[in-house]
Amino acid sequence: MRPPATWSPGARWRRGCAPRCGSSLILQVGWSDGPRPPVCVARHARSGRLRRTSADPTHREVRYDAATRTDTVRPVVLILGALGAFACYTVGGLVGFASSLLYLPVLLVLGVPLSQAVALNLVMAVLTRLPSVVVLRDHLDRRRTTAMLAGSVPGIAAGLVVARLVPAGVLEVGAGLVVLASGLHLVRGRRCPATTPSGAGTRAALVAGGCSGVLGVTTSLNGIPPAVLLARSGATVKARLADLSAFFVVGNCLTLAALAVVADVPVVEPSSETAAWLMVGMVGNAVGLRLAELIDQRRFDDLTIGLVLLSGTASLVGAVT
């Protein structure tokens, strides 16, 4: 029986490759069961995209990219990402929004490309909010949430058009100013909160959903308009958290579908790191929900106003820098 092929010390470099390949180095490898065809290890074979394919069928060109790398766990990245996920999604579970806005810079610092970070953030927001929808389903205002989702559909479409026509810097400045104005509006109405649900009627919910769709596609600030609407609606804390959770679960799925069709968003491939971040994020969201039960509505309003003002300031600072 022929023994299995193994590497031998007889590997050596030799010059010359096929004329169409344009390479200058080939690795001639010696194997225990006899010589094997030379392996093309030219620089273009190690790049993300093959420049030219060798005309010699005996050459084997290996593509080195994210699809061929093994899933190696990086302890520092894993720990930092988990700590960031716990902190950001605890805030999201406590206030009902801003988890994705806070976690996106963490992903970028950890070296995740922007397009993949956006897609991963949307997926994690959907999965971490599902338990909140189940727990708070008895407090959900289905009519108001449905109206916000209906308004978000044309808003997402408008956001895709705006993102193509308006420069990113101008969008960030405009979004920051709008968000700051919304926060100041909440501060102004802090002493005279709405006592009737008229401030969160169907028309207002449609407008908030449309604004959320536009801001979500362009600047990832999709949580601000629903949060401002609910802050002025006079709804209870659990009702706000239920409406926001259901809105984000369905709305983020719509945003992901629109971006996948129009903007070619990369597929989020599962890995040990993303799985760990997701599990820690779900724990953080549960902790935030528990903390929300311990605070009164006045402190909840203060946290909402603070996060709205922080989001607008961060958008303006990001546009300037």
pLDDT of residue 266: 58
pLDDT of residue 182: 84
Whole-Å CA distances, 230 to 115, 148, 151, 300: 30, 11, 15, 12
Q: Where are the domains of the chain?
A: 1-69, 75-320
Whole-Å CA distances, 93 to 105, 133, 281, 290: 19, 11, 10, 8
CB distance 235 to 96 below 8 Å: no
Whole-Å CA distances, 127 to 48, 65, 176: 31, 28, 28
Encode the chain (321 residues) as per-residue pLDDT tens digits. 444 444 444 434 344 444 444 444 434 444 444 444 444 444 334 444 444 444 555 444 444 333 334 456 688 888 999 999 999 999 999 998 888 888 888 888 888 887 778 888 888 989 999 999 999 999 999 999 999 999 999 999 998 888 888 887 788 888 888 888 888 888 877 655 544 444 567 888 999 999 999 988 887 788 889 988 888 887 888 999 999 999 999 999 998 888 878 766 656 667 888 899 999 999 999 999 999 888 888 888 888 888 888 888 877 777 676
Tell me how far apart the alpha carbons of residues 31 and 64 are, in angstroms, rounded to a whole number.
23
pLDDT of residue 12: 40
Supply the pTM of this predicted model.
0.70
